[in-house]
Amino acid sequence: MHVVVNAATSADGKLSSRKREQVAISGESDFARMDRLRAESDAIVVGVGTVLADDPHLTVKDEALCERRAKNGRPEQPARIVVDSSGRTPVDAAILDDAAPTYVCVSDDAPVDRRANLTDHANLVSAGDDRVDLLRAFAGLQEEGLERIMVEGGGELIFSLFECGLVDELRMYVGGTVIGGRDAPTLADGAGFVEDFPSLALERVERIDDGALLCWTVDEIDD
């Protein structure tokens, strides 16, 4: 499995404002690049915080890219994955429509009624007692044939993925704006690291729209 985190931040590192509503940080060219990366992926992952904040669709928008996938014997759309311990994804969420298959990763404690409602719209992957165990959940997704994984966010999920060593690449678009706010989400939130900080190697920098794309690979952790 190969996991790429792709997200857009303001110049001060925010994914959104303190209102946690979707903010268009990327410009047209960066959204097109993001669409191409979606098209290269087997699945697109977000945390339930992003589903509740943005109600994303997580589909490839450019029809030519969908056609190319089909020509190569792949499903027209990548699968969509929500990491959602207690099954809070609303059943009318855009991510649960029939545009592409959706997996909802829940914990074993997710209430039975929520699981039952979600089962009508998605494939459930159960991993972890009261919080999704990402290593187990991603192993289950790999068994489903999902190898090329793109993670879009948000900050809580991205931190946890770094914490358990699941991230191979970080592609970070830094846009020409300042959002500010101590309560605004950043690229990696969660509890934060105090030691053993993940180490990144800068592979490429590209000017796009009014910002810069930074492409990093994640160094292996020494045992």
Ligand X SMILES: Nc1nc(O)c(N)c(N[C@@H]2O[C@H](COP(=O)(O)O)[C@@H](O)[C@H]2O)n1
Ligand Y SMILES: NC(=O)C1=CN([C@@H]2O[C@H](COP(=O)(O)OP(=O)(O)OC[C@H]3O[C@@H](n4cnc5c(N)ncnc54)[C@H](OP(=O)(O)O)[C@@H]3O)[C@@H](O)[C@H]2O)C=CC1
Contact footprint for ligand Y (CB under 6 A): 7-8, 15-16, 20, 22, 25, 46-50, 53-54, 83-86, 88, 131-132, 134, 152-157, 160, 185, 189
Please choose, out of 57-65, 105-113, 139-147, 214-222, the segment that lies near ligand X by the rule CB under 6 A. Answer: 57-65
For residues 62 and 35, what is the distance between their CA atoms, to the nearest angstrom? 7
39 touches ligand X (CB under 6 A): no
Q: How far is CA 29 from CA 46, 61, 119, 211, in A?
A: 22, 13, 37, 11
Please choose, out of 21-29, 71-79, 109-117, 118-126, the segment that lies near ligand X by the rule CB under 6 A. Answer: 21-29
Can you name the residues that pair with 153 across neighbouring β-strands?
46
For residues 182 and 17, what is the distance between their CA atoms, to the nearest angstrom? 10
Please choose, out of 19-27, 81-89, 96-104, 117-125, the segment that lies near ligand X by the rule CB under 6 A. Answer: 19-27
**What's phi and psi for 48, nearest 5 deg?**
-65, -25
Which one of ligand X, ligand Y, none is in contact with 88 (Cβ closer than 5 to 8 A by kind)?
A: ligand Y
Which one of ligand Y, ligand X, none is in contact with 100 (Cβ closer than 5 to 8 A by kind)?
A: none
For residues 77 and 70, what is the distance between their CA atoms, to the nearest angstrom? 9
Which one of ligand X, ligand Y, none is in contact with 20 (Cβ closer than 5 to 8 A by kind)?
A: ligand Y
Categorise residue 50: left if φ over 0, alpha if ψ from -120 to 50, beta otherwise.
alpha
